[in-house]
Amino acid sequence: MSAENPHRRNVFESLNNVNKEKLSDWFKNANFEIIPPEKTIIKLDQVPMDRKISVISSPTKSIEHTIQFSQGLIESGRKSIMPHIAARHFKDSDHVAKVIDKLQELGVNQIFSIAGDNDNPSGPFKGSIDFLREIQRQNIHIDRISIAGYPEGHPKISKKDLDKNLLEKQAWAKETGTEMSIVTQICFDSKKVIDWIEKIRKLGVTLPVVIGIPVKGISLHDLYKLAERSGVGDSMNIINQNPGLISKLVKASIFGKNYAADGFLASLSRMTSERHKIEGMHIFTYFKIPLTMEWVEKSKDFLR
């Protein structure tokens, strides 16, 4: 019999001395974010059909591309699809109405509302709050909307404006009776995530939080591209200044200790309590669907 791969134990060791019930709930409620080139849909066979799939909106492609890919997932039998709807992709109010009509036709009742990374908006909507106000004006109701949270800030938006945006979106959700949650963009420091959650709670933001994490097994090239897309600030400086940390992040083994996934989650679960209102995980799979699912299933087995 071949010797057991020592990396296989690391994922379990890193989860010792934590609240297994809490972590188990996070894994059960995990969303999977995917980027929609053609090959990705084939690999989704490994993702259980009842799991929520979040489809990103590329700044280089139209919003119709996101909807078309989401439609393909729905036609394959998936029911829980959450497309990213980028405000800056809309040309005008009629364009908004047309896209929402298509989503309702497909039975999509949840979206991830974002501003979008386009430097030059296609129309009058510069931020996600502009889009939300537009659908309210058109008497359009969407059952559940996720919005982005930035524990380390955003390279193009001041922290003051980020806080203001969260409060405005929360007020909008309350006024319209919309279920809303915050998905954090990637941060590699669990303490910074907790500090950020505690800060927004003091500001009066009570929306539940879903923790964004990168999949294990991601390459350094993938990591840099993903971090840049997600608006990561200080974490990229940490990576640049710590070659030893880089070596941890680029280990190919899915079961190796990984600062961005196992250790991060273990640390986060030790520091959280009910007041933080964390309701699950949002996994940035970044073309690593098989590795993602193997890690998720191994972790769930251990947490049972």
Amino acid of residue 229: R
pLDDT of res. 41: 59
Are the C-beta atoms of residues 86 and 125 closer than 8 Å to each other?
Answer: no
| Number of domains comprising the chain | 1
What phi and psi, each to the nearest 5 degrees, are found at residue 214?
A: -85, 150
Averaged pLDDT of the chain: 81
pLDDT in tens, 11-36: 545 455 677 888 888 888 899 998 87
pLDDT in tens, 22-72: 888 888 889 999 887 655 555 688 888 989 999 988 777 889 999 999 999
Q: What percentage of residues in the chain have a pLDDT greater than 70?
A: 77
Question: Any residues with CB less than 8 A from the CB of 229 and at least 6 apart, and which?
Answer: 117
Q: Which residue has the higher pLDDT, 13 or 280?
A: 280
pLDDT of res. 221: 60
Are the C-beta atoms of residues 34 and 54 closer than 8 Å to each other?
Answer: yes
Q: Which residue has the higher pLDDT, 135 or 185?
A: 135
Q: Has residue 1 been placed in a domain?
A: no
Q: Has residue 108 been placed in a domain?
A: yes
Q: By CB neighbour count within 10 A (0-12 exposed, 13-18 middle, 19+ buried), where does 215 fall?
A: buried
SS3 per-residue string spanning the chain? CCCCCCHHHHHHHCCCCCCHHHHHHHHHCCEEEECCCCCHHHHHHHCCCCCCEEECCCCCCCHHHHHHHHHHHHHCCCCCEEEEEEHHHCCCHHHHHHHHHHHHHHCCCEEEEECCCCCCCCCCCCCHHHHHHHHHHCCCCCCEEEEEECCCCECCECHHHHHHHHHHHHHHHHHHCCEEEEEECCCCCHHHHHHHHHHHHHHCCCCCEEEEEECCCCCHHHHHHHHHHHCCCHHHHHHHHCHHHHHHHCCCCCCCCCCCCHHHHHHHHHHCCHHHCEEEEEEECCCCHHHHHHHHHHHHHHHC
Task: State the sign of the Cα–Cα–Cα–Cα dihedral 195, 21, 145, 282.
Answer: positive
pLDDT at 255 > cutoff 90:
no
CA–CA distance, 113 with 169 (Å, rounded to integer):
10
Q: Has residue 2 been placed in a domain?
A: no
Considering only CA atoms, which of 121, 73, 76 is closest in space to residue 96?
121
Q: What is the CATH number of the domain that holds 114?
A: 3.20.20.220
Residue 282's alpha-carbon distances to 101, 154, 226, 292, in angstroms, are 27, 19, 14, 12
The domain in which residue 147 lies consists of 7-303
pLDDT in tens, 154-211: 878 899 999 999 999 999 999 999 999 999 987 778 888 999 999 999 999 999 999 9
pLDDT of res. 291: 81
